[in-house]
Amino acid sequence: GGQFTHVGGQPRSNLAHILPDGGVSAWAPNPDEKVWALLLANDVLYVGGDFHTIGGAHRDYLAALSTTAVAPLGWTCDTDNRVATLALQGSTLFLGGWFTSVAGQPRTYVAAVELQTGAPQSWHVDLDDQVKTLAIQDTALFIGGYFSLVNGELRRCIAAVGIETGIVHEWNPALDRTPDWSADGGAHVNALLVDDGTLLVAGSFSVVGGQ
């Protein structure tokens, strides 16, 4: 997924399936704008991005696709702006991005929805700016992006919240960037990865935990 018009010499707009031998599958949903996030669960591919149509059907920023058919599944969970990242825990799909509403309900930059139905859960975390990445470890959802406040508490660009409760954890790496400038939106976290109890963090910063 990304922003492209051809893969392996074949016309493919923003989303493609590469086969094990390096060839390109005939599968071509061709979303009309950039794809930012992919998540595969139970043979369903959840796709997040900037698009409004995918597989010839209207879907705003988020869609569920079969891995064998071009048309999207009936599952819908439209947002009002970019979906940049997806994470799965059990039957809950977490999404982060630029949005402030999910399926018509107010959600600021991060949300939890039912995997089977797309309906927003009551789980609610308030951020003051955009989310670029999510990661899960046990009962914690790690969030990375451009924000400074999480549920009114100071957490610059990275935070941990309860998967079940949405409560902000005391864990605080105190990320910063010196010197800081605004041309790229300021300090931010682009990617998170949990590996055997260690959280790997990548982005634009110069100080973490005072180091």
Q: Summarize pLDDT for 55-87 with one digit per residue, the tens.
A: 999 999 999 999 888 899 999 999 999 999 999
**Average pLDDT along the chain:** 96
Residue-level pLDDT at 140: 97
What's the confidence (pLDDT) of residue 185?
81
Q: What three-state secondary structure class fits 23?
A: coil
Q: Can you give the length of the chain in residues?
A: 211
Q: How far apart are CA 79 and CA 163, in angstroms?
A: 21
More confidently predicted of 154 and 179? 154
Rounded distance between C-alpha atoms, residue 100 and residue 79, angstroms? 8
Q: Are 38 and 51 in contact, with CB atoms under 8 Å apart?
A: no
Tokens found for residue 208: 């973490």
Q: Which of 62, 111, 104 is nearest to 82 (CA)?
A: 62
